[in-house]
């Protein structure tokens, strides 16, 4: 006898097992998370016309795909946060900002922030800080973002293994700071 349940009530968990009962799917799949993310964007983003619409949609799809690709590399429960309204709002903000700017380094920064945000649950200080960073990063130029990264790197990280100023300069400073120092704002 075979019984199929097609829906469930609030706060319920749907479980689907494969034919051999070795595969269990729980929660959102990657495809469902992608569809949710793109639906939120489509329903909330301002309506553009012509080429602008195509460009914005393409950029929104790109950041969504890159985010989900990175999220798949995280622990399996990270994908389930895609159903969280707060994360959807953060993702929409990232999509809409990248859709308008198209800056590749901004996209990478937003994807990294979104992945970190997806790893958080609840409304702790880290969640709030990541949400604010996702909102604030697009307001800065690429040079300003690099300047902040340099300040953070030198103020809040330790330089273990660099006993002299010369070894510090030849090692960590040259490999970590110099690439960030390109085109810094005056």
Judged against a pLDDT cut of 70, whether residue 17 lies above it is answered with no
Specify the higher pLDDT residue, 148 or 64: 64
111 near 104, Cβ under 8 Å?
Answer: no
Give residue 155's pLDDT band: very low, low, confident or very high (50, 70, 90): confident
Q: What is the pTM of this model?
A: 0.65
Whether the per-residue pLDDT at 23 is higher than 50: the answer is no
When mean pLDDT is compared over 3-7, 68-72, 130-134, the highest value belongs to: 130-134
Q: How confident is the model at residue 20 (pLDDT cuts 50, 70, 90)?
A: low
Cα 119 to Cα 78: distance, rounded to the nearest angstrom: 6
Average per-residue pLDDT in the chain? 77
Give the mean model confidence (pLDDT) for residues 135-155.
Answer: 83
């Amino acid at each position: 006898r075979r019984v199929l349940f097609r829906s469930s009530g609030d706060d319920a968990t749907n479980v689907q097992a494969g034919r051999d009962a070795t595969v269990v799917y729980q929660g959102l799949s990657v495809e469902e998370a992608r569809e949710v993310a793109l639906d939120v964007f489509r329903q909330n983003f301002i309506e553009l016309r012509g080429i602008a619409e195509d460009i914005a949609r393409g950029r929104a799809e790109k950041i969504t795909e890159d985010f989900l690709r990175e999220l798949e590399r995280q622990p399996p429960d990270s994908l389930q946060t895609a159903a969280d309204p707060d994360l959807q709002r953060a993702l929409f903000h990232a999509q809409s900002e990248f859709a308008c700017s198209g800056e590749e380094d901004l996209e990478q920064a937003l994807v990294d922030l979104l992945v970190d945000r997806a790893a958080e649950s609840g409304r702790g200080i880290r969640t709030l800080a990541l949400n604010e960073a996702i909102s604030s990063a697009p307001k800065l130029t690429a040079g300003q973002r690099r300047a902040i990264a340099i300040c953070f790197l030198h103020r809040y990280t330790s330089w273990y293994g660099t006993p002299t100023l010369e070894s510090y300069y030849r090692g960590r400073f040259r490999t970590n700071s110099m690439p960030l120092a390109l085109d810094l704002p005056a």
